[in-house]
Amino acid sequence: MQFHQPAHISLAGIKRLAIAPCTGLKEASLLEAKLIAKLDSIDYYFIFDKTELKDSLNRHQLTYQQIVESDSAALIDIGNQLDLDAMLFTELKVLEVDLEAVGSEDVEQKVWTGDYERNESGEIIEEENSNGEKVKKKKLKVKILEQPFQIRTATIEVLFKLIDFQLGSIFDSWEIVRNYVDNTLIGKESENLPNEREIKNILMDKAAHSLVEQLAPLDKIVKRQVETITAQPDSGVIYARQNEWNKALRYWKQVEVHHPENAKVFYNLGLAYEAQGNYKMAEINYVKASLVDIENKMYLNALENIQKIWLEKSQRN
Go through the domains of the chain in sequence order and give each one's CATH number: 2-93+156-216 (3.40.50), 97-150 (no CATH), 224-316 (1.25.40.10)
**Are the beta carbons of 154 and 98 closer than 8 angstroms?**
yes
Q: What is the pTM of this model?
A: 0.62
CA distance 10 to 274: 15
In 3-state terms, what secondary structure has residue 98?
strand
Q: What angle do CA 146, 148, 149 make, to 5 degrees?
A: 135
Question: Greater confidence, 272 or 103?
Answer: 272
- b/e for 138-147, b at 16 or more Cβ within 10 A? eeeeeeeeee
Q: What does the pLDDT look like over 83-119, one tens digit per residue?
A: 999 999 999 999 999 988 888 778 788 889 999 999 9
Q: How confident is the model at residue 3 (pLDDT cuts 50, 70, 90)?
A: low
Question: Does the pLDDT at position 247 exceed 80?
Answer: yes
**Chain centre distance of CA 279:** 20
CA distance 47 to 235: 30
pLDDT at 195: 87
Q: How confident is the model at residue 17 (pLDDT cuts 50, 70, 90)?
A: very high
Q: What is the DSSP letter of 232?
A: S
What number is the average pLDDT over the span 145-168?
88
Identify the CA nearest to 285 among candidates 275, 4, 90, 130: 275
Q: Please compute, for residue 298, the number of CA atoms within 13 A of its CA located in the half-sphere on the CB side.
A: 12
DSSP per position, 225-243? PPPP-SSS--HHHHHHHTT
What number is the average pLDDT over the span 33-47?
88
**Are the beta carbons of 147 and 108 closer than 8 angstroms?**
no
pLDDT at 86: 92
Identify the CA nearest to 173 among candidates 288, 232, 91: 91
CA distance 105 to 89: 47
